Structure 1
């Protein structure tokens, strides 16, 4: 029996998973909560492993499946090589592995546009931040820990407390704890 799977990737910026594949019917949904730059997407790996000949994978849009063209082509090829259909809802495109040259071309062009669009957005963000800094409006992110908390973390970590436990207690990531423990952290 063939099945239909949904794949959803949400970043920390847009936690609304429901909207992505609203109104679609599936047997199972795989959801990764990861930033686009993060290549570690365990649910996507599970989905690729799980999908079988005749199954269909639904994804809201190409940029939800992959962050760059090479990644997009590789994932679509991995799935279609297993005779799994890949359908992008927003772009209204389906890939089957028996794709025509035109379909393969569309995958490349639309994927390239998505990549280009993200680059433009990042560039506009950087320009906006630069202008805001010049105007004295942009202060950057506030510190995760104040000086007193940072000193306490350093003291307790040196005394052998687990960094993961400290991170939980102070409501920050382990990475943040490690950054505060760097000798050159201000």
Structure 2
């Protein structure tokens, strides 16, 4: 292979350390996502797919780093292969080139199913843990992102004559745009009920 060796690393949260995944693997470029693998909504994965060219090799630590469900896993690998890019899974010793034999395809489906099952098991254990903590009075839930006063100010400023934008308000209050939209929707519902 004469193309670039491009690494893809994914951890589920910003607090997790991604350095171990492709440690010691020689790479020309690395794309790192700090997001769940349960869906395709990952900006660095999209950037990687746009970046790679025919003859490149994408290296990933394990299949569950690419996706946590069989459908997405197959689609991502097929998309990369259709560009003439091979995919290597370092810990499982798998290589996908697009002209894979039936055994390789079977392994992809089986390992993808295992990743999907593992995600479902994690969610189940998490839900059980939260239920036990709530029953014991030890679970308070997620901290509220904005106070009622902040929500009122955002609503006022967004609806005001100048109509400040969601992005600038989100930056100023240190929350995501999605959080601002959520609180504005809640604020609107409360006003409608009054």
Aligned to 1:165: 168
Matched residue of 1:47: which SS?
A: helix
Aligned to 1:123: 124
2:156 is the counterpart of 1:151: no
Matched residue of 1:172: which SS?
A: coil
Aligned residues of 2:55 and 2:85 also touching (Cα < 8 A): yes
Structure 1 residue 38: Cα displacement = 4.4
Q: Aligned equivalents of 1:52 and 1:161: distance in 2?
A: 41
Structure 1 residue 15: Cα displacement = 4.2
Structure 1 residue 48: Cα displacement = 2.9
Aligned to 1:105: 106
Structure 1 residue 92: Cα displacement = 2.4
Q: Unpaired runs of 5+ in structure 2?
A: none
Matched residue of 2:95: which SS?
A: strand
Q: Unpaired runs of 5+ in structure 1?
A: none
Name the stretch that deviates more: 67-76 or 25-34. Answer: 25-34
Aligned to 2:140: 139
Structure 1 residue 163: Cα displacement = 2.1
Structure 1 residue 141: Cα displacement = 0.4
TM-score normalised per structure 1: 0.87
Matched residue of 1:169: which SS?
A: helix
The 1:58–1:127 alpha-carbon spacing in structure 2 relative to 1, beyond 3 Å, is same
Aligned to 1:60: 61
Task: Report how many residues are paired.
Answer: 186
TM-score normalised per structure 2: 0.84
Structure 1 residue 22: Cα displacement = 0.9
Aligned to 2:91: 90
Aligned residues of 2:38 and 2:69 also touching (Cα < 8 A): no
Over residues 48-75 of structure 1, what are the superposed CA-to-partner deviations in whole Å (9 max), with x where a residue is unaligned?
A: 3443343211011111111210111122
Task: State the Cα RMSD in Å.
Answer: 2.2
Q: Aligned equivalents of 1:81 and 1:155: distance in 2?
A: 50
